[in-house]
Amino acid sequence: RPGDTQPAGVALAGDYWRPEGRPDPLGEQGRSGIGAPLSRVDGADKVTGGARFAGEFRFDGMLYAALVYSTIANGRIVGIDTCDAESLDGVALVMTHQNAPRLNTPPVFLRAPNGAAGDDHPIMQTDRVHWNGQPVALVLAETQEQADAAAESIRVDYAAEPAMTDFAIAKTQARQPDNLLGGPAEIRVGDADSALAAAAYRVDATYTTPRHSHNAIEPHALTLAWVNEPEGEGETLRIHDASQCVDLAVASLAEVFGIDISRIHITSPFVGGGFGGKTLWQHQILAAAAAKLAGRPVRLALSREGVYRVVGGRACTEQRVALGADDRGRLQALIHSGVAAMTRHNNLPEPFFQATKCLYAADHIRLSIEVADMHMLANTFMRAPGESVGTFALESALDELADQLGMDPLELRARNEPERDPTSGLAFSSRHWLEAARAGAERFGWSERSATPAGRHDGEWQIGMGCATATYPYMRMPGAAASITLTPDGATVGIAAHEMGMGTATVQTQVAAARLGLPVEKIVFRYGDSQLAGSVLAGGSQQTAAIGGAVIAAQRALVTELLSLVDEHSPLSGLSPDEIECRDEGLGAIGDGSRFESYRQILASAGRSELCVEANAAESQELGNWSMHSFGTIFCEAGVSAVTGEVRVRRLLGSFDCGRILNAKTAASQFRGGMIMGLGMALMEETLFDARSGRVMNPSLADYHVPVQMDVPEIEVMWTDIPDPRTPMGAHGVGEIGITGVGAAVANAVYNACGKRVRDLPITLDKLL
Ligand code: MOS
């Protein structure tokens, strides 16, 4: 098998590529400057066991929690027998809707201000069941094993009611959602339907993508306690959580429990992956409620199955892409519409047309999304929501059109490069897709692709190549702030942001060091703590820019503050902040090497041991005025067995245009990780949802397949490294773009290999026989 003869696993993360003629950050900035492949500052802790994750903290007198999940999708609980459970050794509490404390409904992510919750169902407050898998009881016991055994012994009787659990039926009753990520759920430019009917060349096809479940390597867990503050100051809820939004989670929990946000403190220093799923779900609220009822601290660690029952994932979609073109391949009509499953209790129609808004210069465009209401766990953000599955449909259709035109698919895309954003009309802040695509094609050896399908063979293996465009929007959300504490020995930067394995702590240490003119060794970057400055969501690939904006603001506040300390004898006397730069561990006049004073000197002459500043990031001016996106092209070489239909991806290359790259090593890992997720989406990932019962049937990594070592071929990544002049530091986030385009690149390679077009993910061998 080719998989056996290929080098298994990914290439070394330090092995990255830079375009000719661009400066090498190693030469320019030393080993740790912006762009340099600095190794993770938290790496040693992670590989030596020094890193403590949320489910590893402990409190004295702590109890362990286990959940019982409903087995119907809609209806009422008519009886819960907890007698056996309560009589078992070590059981301290059984909580059901009959004895749970009164809780307010949680504010929903992206609907309510400060919402972090997946849905707005009341949590264990009534006898109603809304999805198959909803928690209906919680057990606390002295050990995890006792809690699990007691949970098993609980018997629940239900009065089931009709439930909408079949997408094939639900989609016939689809409705327009209120909004799509706050914007319209339908966009029209010109008259796409007429233009399609008049076009000389047409593709009009339906693409389907399945549900996907969150599978962070660290399942969701938390350890918490209601702590009695001294001197009658009341109670504080202290939570060690695995979170990508500590600040939003505090705000939401405060609302649920009807207490002030100052009464809740969440820390989350290490997170084993988030991907959109580590927000606020029922388990955190139930754990806090049970701890209050029992009067003891609680640890709740969801089992892998528990994550599938309680934490939403990606909804299934059915998408139509229709393209009309002239004989030179210029797009006249572009239609991308369809249906996604959803509940009425959350606010995320899987936004599959997001990428289509900005990619191609079609004269007439129509984009729309409808949602099919189902009785299911609320779907949520997951690994480039929208773009991942949307680019599968769009980029497969482009490949079908190229095939019809007899044109190279990369050339077809190049002919439709837009001058301006085709739906908003805005200018692009930075768009170098073509440069990235051409460089990628050359390095990949794209010219060796057979122009006709089934043109290359290697024994039983049919070999093909495919490509697809990758894209993800640039975002910078409001709310970011940073503090800087400067001492003679260095600086501590604090911000309520997150490190979930992406490299944030490392990259932002570099950013702060460069910004403050300090070596990285003298920077401490603090994060993952709701008491730190500001509020930053680690999502939407926006953290990098959000933190960058906050650090810029805090640095400016620091410079202003330091200048106010210097006296008339200082070489800096009389200079304004605009005339100052941070360099060589101090402040210097821009363009005048002789006027300089070190931080140490300034602090000493002012008699200060430290200086603290805090500042809010400037509001984003960039987003309303420019169309801002990252771009790339994914190249894939795949083999399809003529005997078994098995697909083995032999090579993947991603060539990206994501602004300035801040750390070549962590960025390469982000791109590769995303592309591996894309590979899983292309070939294996699928949450099996029983249309009769609404039950997820494969809630484990044994039955829900993700790529393992031997599924992952050689992956190369490269980038333009062209700074975006509109963003802090010229950077874009790189977290999610890697997954986009991969599904189509694989599907297109499969078509080129064997002539079969698979429009339904995942591309399993039964679809190729
Ligand atoms: Mo990502 S799905 O924006 O956490």
Which of residues 619, 647, 670 is at a domain's end?
619
Question: What's the ipTM?
Answer: 0.97
Q: What is the number of alpha carbons within 13 Å of residue 223 lying toward its C-beta? A: 14
- How far is the centre of ligand 1, averaged over its atoms, from the C-alpha of 540 (Å)? 5
Q: Which two tokens stand for residue 104?
A: 């307010």
* Residue 181: inside a domain: yes
Atom 4 (ligand 1): residue with closest C-alpha? 276
Residues 223 and 136 in one domain: yes
- How far is the centre of ligand 1, averaged over its atoms, from the C-alpha of 136 (Å)? 28
User: Which atom of ligand 1 is least distant from the CA of 383?
Assistant: 2
Give the pLDDT score at 13.
26
Torsion angles phi and psi, residue 507, rounded to 5: -60, -45
* Residue 49: inside a domain: no
**Using CB atoms within 10 A of its CB, is residue 420 exposed (0-12), middle (13-18) or buried (19+)?**
middle
Residues 401 and 536 in one domain: no
How far is residue 718's CA from residue 613's CA, in Å, rounded to a whole number? 38
Residues 330 and 267 in one domain: no
Instruction: Tell me how many domains the chain contains.
Output: 3
Helix (H, G, I), strand (E, B) or coil at 243: coil
Distances (CA, A) of 359 to 265, 401, 418, 709: 43, 16, 7, 33
- How far is the centre of ligand 1, averaged over its atoms, from the C-alpha of 109 (Å)? 12
Residues 450 and 481 in one domain: no
- Reference 241, options 215, 264, 275; nearest CA is 264
User: Which atom of ligand 1 is least distant from the CA of 381?
Assistant: 2
Give the pLDDT score at 33.
83
Low-confidence ranges of the chain (pLDDT < 70): 1-32
* Residue 606: inside a domain: yes
* Residue 155: inside a domain: yes
Range of the domain at 501: 477-619
* Residue 537: inside a domain: yes
- Please list every protein residue whose CB sits less than 6 Å from any atom of ligand 1: 274-276, 381-383, 385, 539-540, 736
User: Which atom of ligand 1 is least distant from the CA of 538?
Assistant: 4
Could you list the beta-strand ranges (E) of 21-154.
Answer: 63-69, 75-81, 91-95, 128-129, 135-141
Residues 457 and 519 in one domain: no
- pTM score, whole prediction: 0.95
Cβ(265)–Cβ(236) under 8 Å? yes
- Look up the CATH number of the domain holding residue 534: 3.30.365.10
User: Which atom of ligand 1 is least distant from the CA of 542?
Assistant: 3
* Residue 318: inside a domain: yes
Residues 375 and 256 in one domain: no
Give the pLDDT score at 86.
98
Give the pLDDT score at 547.
95
Give the pLDDT score at 114.
87
- How far is the centre of ligand 1, averaged over its atoms, from the C-alpha of 385 (Å)? 7
- Look up the CATH number of the domain holding residue 245: 3.90.1170.50
Which of residues 585, 619, 653 is at a domain's end?
619
Give the pLDDT score at 540.
95
Give the pLDDT score at 574.
95
* Residue 47: inside a domain: no
Tokens 């599907």 correspond to 747
- The verdict on whether 395 is a catalytic residue reads no
Residues 604 and 720 in one domain: no
Kindly tell me the number of DSSP H helices and DSSP E strands found in the chain: 20, 28
Which residue type occupies 518?
L
Based on its alpha-carbon atoms, the radius of gyration of the chain, rounded to whole angstroms, reads 27
- Reference 390, options 346, 434, 337; nearest CA is 337
Give the pLDDT score at 271.
97
Residues 420 and 555 in one domain: no
Give the pLDDT score at 31.
60
Cβ(485)–Cβ(512) under 8 Å? no
Average pLDDT, the chain: 94
Residues 432 and 563 in one domain: no
114-161 pLDDT tens trace: 899 999 999 999 999 999 999 999 999 999 999 999 999 999 999 999
Q: Ligand 1 pocket test: pick from 280, 346, 736, 737 the residue with the most ligand atoms within 8 Å of its Cβ.
A: 736
* Residue 90: inside a domain: yes
Residues 85 and 229 in one domain: yes
Residues 451 and 393 in one domain: yes
- How far is the centre of ligand 1, averaged over its atoms, from the C-alpha of 5 (Å)? 35
